[in-house]
Amino acid sequence: MVVGLVGSRDPGGKRRRTLAATKLGKGAAWLSRTAGLGEGGIIGGRVAMALDRDVLSGLASGRTVVLVTGTNGKTTTTSMVTRALSAAGPVASNSTGANMPDGHVAALMARPEARYAVLEVDEMHLDIAAEQTKPAVILLLNLSRDQIDRVGEVRTVAARLRQVVVDSPQAVVVANADDPMVVFAAEPAQRVVWVSVGGGRWTGDATSCPKCGERIDVSVERWACACGLRRPEPAWAVRDQTVITDSGRELALQLNLPGQVNYGNAALAMAAVAQLGVVPEAALPRIREVSEVAGRYGDLVIGGRKVRLLLAKNPAGWHEMLQLVRASGRPVMLVVNAREADGFDLSWLWDVPFEQLAGLQVVVAGERAADMAVRLRYARVDVTMNPDPVEAVRMTPPGDLDVIANYTAFRMLRVKGEA
């Protein structure tokens, strides 16, 4: 019988409620997979949560939990932390990106034996995840504009994360020292480990100080505000393709994932697992095994052509991916939708330095291909346009192709493509 599971307040019955909700959640997931309706993880998590509102707390009990949040790089960094922490024992994780409470429940249900849990968390749900799981480590990556119509202004998000840090005194906070918004959020931690991810590209959304509202001086290598908020001295740092550990050791990263942004993600992952006793020399070989993350950076065949599929969801993410395709020199296709999961507002297109694409062969596609084409023409980039991504692929020159897509376009292309 499951009647009364939600409302029951009997402390002695908490474990039984969790077990019952978990069993029925797994059953719902199995039915979803059997019926061909999907992987079943999300529906399983939702069923378990409907039956026991404290199921996440019950499933997390007795585990060492790491929570990973920020605007960009959550899924990749979660995968890196999961691989690195596996050196210490079995790990439960939602590494595919289901980063809200139902996804967390599903991930923990799937690995009941795992001593560790590494959970990617949407910024707006970190408070719930932290309250329920009592994390040992909170990893703060970066904060920039993303789906403002859903998430809100960046300083509001930073203030919300700061409160989570205050409410989680047991957690070691591993944080990006180069991002003023993250530093503001992490500042009250009982213990914080600062990591420099290599460069000042995370100051773009911090013209005004999140602490006092005055202007931050970002003209110097180490940003600072007159109120006292300033870039802290990092314990870990990335220089080119090398990570410098908190003990001063220099380790060549040699990653299988491309781009400067992933060097920073790797450094943050190594710093996080070091708080749990995994030494850098044991963590790094496992991080190097990560070559594709939920389809990101992977190769597909679309329209008979081999393409490398890249995900970008906001100005900071697009900036990183543009640097990557610029370095490759391949023809590039940009695919943009504007559905609920993407955010309906496309004004951010004008904050992305698409001028970097000048001289490359560029095709635009997706439901908002016309908006992208207009933006590129103002950037003096010659473009060809076709809203149908498969047809657009066929319009590009022969050879390998880089494709950058936002969230729903990325998912659509993965379905259309062949691995």
- The residue to which tokens 């989680």 are assigned: 168
Residue 404 zone, left/alpha/beta (φ > 0; ψ -120 to 50; rest): beta
Paired tokens of 274: 């070091």
SS3 339: coil
Paired tokens of 75: 């899924």
Binding residues for Zn(2+): 209, 212, 225, 227
The conformation of residue 351, written as its DSSP 8-state character, comes to G
Paired tokens of 282: 């044991």
Asked if 345 is an active-site residue, the reply is yes
Paired tokens of 269: 């992952």
- The residue annotated as part of the active site, out of 345, 382, 388, 400, is 345
Q: What is the DSSP string of 194-235?
A: EEE-SSSGGGTT-SB-TTTSSBPB-SSSS-B-TTS-BPPPPS
- Phi and psi torsions of 131, nearest 5°: -65, -40
Which of 109, 101, 231, 255 lies closest to 175 in space, CA to CA?
A: 231
Find out whether 275 and 88 touch, Cβ atoms under 8 Å.
no
In whole angstroms, what is the distance from residue 143 CA to residue 316 CA? Answer: 9
Helix (H) or strand (E) holding 64: strand 64-69
In whole angstroms, what is the distance from residue 69 CA to residue 104 CA? Answer: 13
In whole angstroms, what is the distance from residue 376 CA to residue 323 CA? Answer: 16
User: How many whole angstroms from its chain centre is CA 114?
Assistant: 22
Please list, residue by residue across 278-302, b when 16 or more beta carbons sit within 10 angstroms of its beta carbon and e when fewer do: bebeebbebbbebeebbbbbbebeb
Judge residue 160's burial from the number of C-beta atoms within 10 Å of its C-beta, 0-12 exposed, 13-18 middle, 19 or more buried. middle
Find out whether 260 and 199 touch, Cβ atoms under 8 Å.
yes
The conformation of residue 147, written as its DSSP 8-state character, comes to -
Paired tokens of 289: 């095994």
Binding residues: 209, 212, 225, 227
Active site amino acids:
345
